[in-house]
Amino acid sequence: MTPSNKTEADWKKKLTPERYRVLREKDTEPAFSGQYYKTNDQGMYVCGACGQALFSSDTKYDAGCGWPSFYAAQDQGKLELHDDLSYGMHRIEVTCSNCGSHLGHLFDDGPKPTGQRYCINSLSLDFKKDK
Ligand code: FE
């Protein structure tokens, strides 16, 4: 997949306003508001902006936080990590490596075997259910 070269104007046209705010302006959807935090179906979670495969349902777990949570990436190379110092905290922001869209944050309080918790907005994801 070649890196996306869409402009912000292109994204604004392509995405709904609520998805644009999260994916392109790094907003966070309210906890327990999203489409996928309770989903248990088998399949692949892909970037809601460009469609790149990001997280397998095999690594999804209920962290009780109100956002879809994963203990591992489908492929580390499909995610980029950035220091986020907003709101007086140091967090690790997670973005899509293909299109640069905001996905959520990575925390170190996840379950074994990785200890990672990718806390991802439902609005940043689409779900491709296994047939
Ligand atoms: Fe993307």
Domain span holding position 55: 8-129
Domain CATH code at residue 99? 2.170.150.20
Instruction: Report the distance separating Cα 21 and Cα 59, nearest Å.
Output: 26
20 within some domain = yes
1 within some domain = no
109 within some domain = yes
Q: In the structure, what pLDDT confidence band is assigned to residue 80 with cuts at 50, 70 and 90?
A: very high
What's the whole-model pTM score? 0.95
* The total number of structural domains that make up the chain: 1
Distance 95 CA to ligand 1 centre (A): 8
pLDDT in tens, 108-123: 999 999 999 999 999 9
90 within some domain = yes
pLDDT of residue 72: 98
Q: Establish whether 119 is a catalytic residue.
A: yes
Distance 122 CA to ligand 1 centre (A): 14
Distance 4 CA to ligand 1 centre (A): 8
